[in-house]
Structure 1
Amino acid sequence: MKFASYLVIFFLFLFQSSNGSNLISQSCKEASKNDPNLRYDFCVASLEDESKLQPPPSNLEGLVGMSIQLTKSNGTNMVSIISKLMKDKTFDQYAKVCLRDCFDLYSDSLSDLDDAVVAFKSKDLDTAAINLSASLDNSVTCEDQFKDKKGEASPLTKENRVFFQLNVISLAFIQMFHQHY
């Protein structure tokens, strides 16, 4: 009897997992058609990796929440990375100022993302989108300031692109949810 119970639970989990994966794939496909900044492969890979760490979403609302949380987690990681880079003695004064600005920008992004979560939960989709846009802009500003000095290269280019993409995904899903809400 116990074996039958475990088998039922296993199939329910498998069904839920495939539904979440299908939702992710379909949502990323729809979002990437409507947003030239959104890369389908990145979208699917990021969200499927995240759904291995938590129960996969069963609907678009859950997917929006998961994508914002993933973006916030990445932003928290960015603050940590930048904090470590600021202690690196190999950077010149200009790069250290840029890193300090990036640290502040990403700290602001975490606040913006918290506000986006609160707004989304209360179904204030416009405010959620505004906060996500502000967070997205912070990654662009961080990257661009290194370009102000000739020959200066950002040590955060790859990370800024990832954070930008995660914000784009969250924004695209908010827009999709807004259309279906």
Structure 2
Amino acid sequence: MRFLTYVIISILFLSQYTTNASRSNLIVRSCREASKNDPNLSYEFCVTSLYEAACKTKLQPKKLEDLVSMSIQVTKSNGTNIISIISHDLQNQTHGEHVKACLQDCLNLYNDSLSSLDDAMVAFNTSKDLDTANINVSAALDDSVTCEDQFKERKEDNETSPLTQENHVYFQLNVISLSFIQMIRHRY
């Protein structure tokens, strides 16, 4: 009887492991394909970001559409974190006026960006409107570029962007979503 119980538990464990492994392979396969098609996307960054999200949410993606939703959600979470960083930096008394003005603009850009990602999520999940989702994710991506570029426009007193790393990560996260949307578009 113990042997039978052991066999049943082993079979259940192995079937669960196989299911999770195949879902994890979805992340690896999709990130590999996306990074081959877009020079702005790092394969390692893509895999790490999505595995981390899957572990946090305990939800494993079953299909590419799940990865689009997951990647947009990860990007929104990152954008919310960046807004917190900007709000904190705006209170820093050591920044010059130019940096403070840029940070305020970035705060507005990231708020707009989160709104664009909400619109992308609704368009994608509700009506499978790939064009609208693509436009809104592109707008979110552009907001991070605009944020970074304004620091470069006029450097005063050797001030640099305190958001360079955050803008780069946000850009990459948006590229993941855009790449997956394009992959779905090419399949239909």
Provide the TM-score with structure 1 as the length reference.
0.94
- The 5 A counterparts of 1:147-166 are 147-150=152-155, 151-166=158-173
Shift of 1:14: 2.0
- The 5 A counterparts of 1:128-167 are 128-150=133-155, 151-167=158-174
Q: How many residues align?
A: 181
Q: Which residue of 1 aligns with 2:103?
A: 99
CA contact (8 A) 1:129 1:171 kept: yes
Q: Which residue of 1 aligns with 2:33?
A: 30
AA of the residue aligned to 1:42: F
Shift of 1:17: 2.1
Identify which of 154, 169, 176 aligns with 2:183: 176
Q: Which residue of 1 aligns with 2:129?
A: 124
Percent sequence identity over matched residues? 58
Question: How far does the alpha carbon of each residue in 1:90-141 deviate from its partner, in whole angstroms, 9 at most, with x for none?
Answer: 1111111100000000000100000000010111000000000000000000
Query: Counterpart of 1:134 in 2: which secondary structure?
Result: helix
Provide the TM-score with structure 2 as the length reference.
0.90
Distance in 2, Cα, partners of 1:146 & 1:130: 25
| Higher alpha-carbon deviation: 111-120 or 6-15 | 6-15
| Higher alpha-carbon deviation: 2-11 or 35-44 | 2-11
Shift of 1:5: 6.5
Shift of 1:21: 1.5
Distance in 2, Cα, partners of 1:79 & 1:41: 25
Identify if the C-alpha distance between structure 1 residues 19 and 86 changes in structure 2 by more than 3 Å, giving closer, same or farther: same
Q: Which residue of 2 aligns with 1:77?
A: 81
Larger radius of gyration: 2
Please provide the CA RMSD for this pair: 1.6
CA contact (8 A) 1:136 1:167 kept: yes
Shift of 1:39: 0.9
AA of the residue aligned to 2:70: M
Question: Structure 2 unaligned runs (5+)?
Answer: none
